Structure 1
Amino acid sequence: MRVYDRERQEWAGGRRERLYHPDQYLDLPRQRRVLERTGVVLAVVGVCFGVWAFAWKDEPEPPPAATTSQGESAPAETGGSDPADSAPEDSPTVADAGSGVLPDGYEEAQDEEGFRVAVPTGWSRESSASQFGIDIVNYRSSDGSRRLQIFQVMEDSPYGSLQAAQTESTKLDGYELIELTEISSSPYAAAEHEYRASEIAGESDTGSVRHVIDHRFEASDGNRYALVAYGPDNADATERDLVDTAVTWFCPPDTTCPTPAG
């Protein structure tokens, strides 16, 4: 086949034809190898592309982040849980654990003079004017054999007040001192005068010996008070129970006090 040589502007033939169409004159074995290698390369490329396309198509999308009611992303949960979150709603609280329980046979009394005290259930109340502080208040048993007296103390210290009272008590018929002491275990200053006598001011003269515990103390309001228990001298612990319970539950006027622990 002859071709036109534009550079020379003439028709070329023979050797020049081979220069313009060299691929037509390659040997056949070489052409086959070229075609085989090209086919292998194309096959490998096709397989790779297919695998990639299949994996990309089936890959799951990440779930959307949880949002709050305002549309903000919610914080991720952390491992474990707060034990307080799993506690039952009716679990006792610290405040519940501190609630007090009155001894059997006692009741809480919010007195007209403003103080709180605990007295035996069913006791009657009477009062009289005092030269200092609140009125003198007496709670008395129905048979009249026992009495709890509350009043405010004028002296600066409970022990000094009892020393003065003890001097007067020695004038009573049948007076016998059991103990006159300061109480160091009390959170505030306190002292106690325990004695026997057959004559007691404010009591009818029966001729029988009476047992008295006179407990004087400084309260949380900074004032001093007396809680005095009177009863028959029969060697029981009733007067001691009266005083101890009254002291535990006593709260001075115009003061907020916690409920005693049970």
Structure 2
Amino acid sequence: MDDDPGHGGPGPRVAVAVVLAALLGGGVGFGVWTLSRDDDGPTRATSASSSPSAPPSVPAAGPQDDGGTASATPKQSAADSDPGGTPGYVRSDDPAGFTVEVPSGWKRTAKTPTDKPTVVTYDSPDGTRVLQLFLVSEGSPAESMDLAENENYGFARLPGYRALDRSAADDDSYSEVVYRFDGEGDLGPRQVIDHRFRTADDKIYGVRLSAPEPTPLDELREPVTMVTTSLCPTGATCVRG
């Protein structure tokens, strides 16, 4: 499981666990995210926006993880064996309702909190990096990010939290936060990119990537950018970006 920070005493540890449950399982208004790419190259949903030049950033809290693990398995095709595919990534036709390109070899799991959209998680083979995709119910990326950071169980309450970077579009088509916080156990301190953005069907999705704090930021941004530029919700018309 990703980032499970804690404190010395049982009280603070429980509080931190609750914050992480909100962050990792979903939280008020968070759910599933999806990305996709066509056979000619990376695609993005029409009208979908990601940072013009700035990479995506810190994900916000999501729905409480009180649902079961999804058993459905996505169909995947190796991007590097697909003409125009991206080496190192696979295109996933996810049962959660989207197509997206994710790092090859990462293990997928999915949980559906009660009355909330599915939260899709991809873990790196070594277990040190966690990529999460979820649908957001707030009216804008900025509103979603603000709630994720500052509500009762927002990520700003994680131990050692410090915002490293923030960016947002003037038209509110995306909002991003990059931050760090103290980890727990073998995982140690973590660095996170949380990015909220609009898709072709005018829904708002979030993508969150967590990794060890020393990880170069450009390494974190690559999978997040791949998601934001390839996301295509089921039924939406996506064009090459």
Smaller-chain TM-score bracket = 0.5 to 0.7
Counterpart residue type for residue 164 of structure 2: I
Deviation at 1:230, TM superposition (A): 1.1
Structure 1 distance, partners of 2:180, 2:164, is 7
1:218 corresponds to which of 174, 186, 198: 198
SS of 1:170's partner is: helix
Aligned to 1:206: 186
TM-aligned CA deviation for residue 104 of structure 1? 2.3
List per-residue Cα deviations over 1:92-127 (Å, max 9, x = no partner): xxxxxx911343211111111121111111111101
Checking the alignment, whether the CA contact within 8 Å between 1:182 and 1:190 is kept in structure 2 is yes
In the alignment, residue 183 of structure 1 is paired with which amino acid? A
- TM-score between both structures, scaled by the size of structure 1: 0.55
SS at match of 1:206: helix
Partner residue in 2 for 1:239: 220
- The one-character-per-residue Cα deviations of 1:170-213 (angstroms, maximum 9, x if unpaired) are 210111101233134x8x711101100124xxxx6436111100
- Counterpart CA distance in 1 for 2:167 and 2:114 is 26
Aligned position for 2:174: 190
What TM-score does the superposition give when structure 2 sets the normalisation length?
Answer: 0.60
- Write the letter of the residue equivalent to 1:191: S
User: Quick check: 2:129–2:210 contact (8 Å CA) kept in 1?
Assistant: yes
Aligned to 2:232: 251
Structure with more contact order per residue of length (Cα contacts < 8 Å, sep ≥ 6): 2
Show the counterpart of 1:229: 209
Corresponding position of 2:165: 179
**Per-residue deviation, 1:134:** 2.9
- Corresponding letter in the other structure for 1:190: Y
Matched, 1:112 2:95: yes
Q: How does 1:23-42 map to 2 (within 5 A)?
A: none
Larger radius of gyration: 1
2:169 is matched by which residue type in structure 1? I
The amino acid that maps onto 2:227 is A
**How many Å separate the matches in 1 of 2:169 and 2:188?**
29
Q: Within the alignment, does 1:99 sit opposite 2:40 as a pair?
A: yes
Q: Flag structure 1 segments of 5+ consecutive residues without an equivalent.
A: 1-97
Q: Identity percentage over the alignment?
A: 32
C-alpha contact 2:128 2:187 (8 A) present in aligned 1:
no
Structure (1 or 2) with the greater strand fraction: 2
1:162 matched to which residue of 2? 145
2: CA distance between counterparts of 1:134 and 1:106?
Answer: 25
Looking at secondary structure, tell me which structure has more helix per residue.
1
Q: Distance in 2 between matches of 1:207 and 1:139?
A: 17
Contact kept, 8 Å, 2:187 with 2:212, in 1: the verdict is no
Rounded to whole Å, the distance in 2 between the matches of 1:242 and 1:102 is 14
Secondary structure (helix, strand or coil) at the match of 2:186 reads coil
- State whether residues 125 and 139 of structure 1, in contact with CA within 8 Å, keep that contact through their aligned partners in structure 2: yes
What value does the CA root-mean-square deviation take over the aligned residues? 2.3
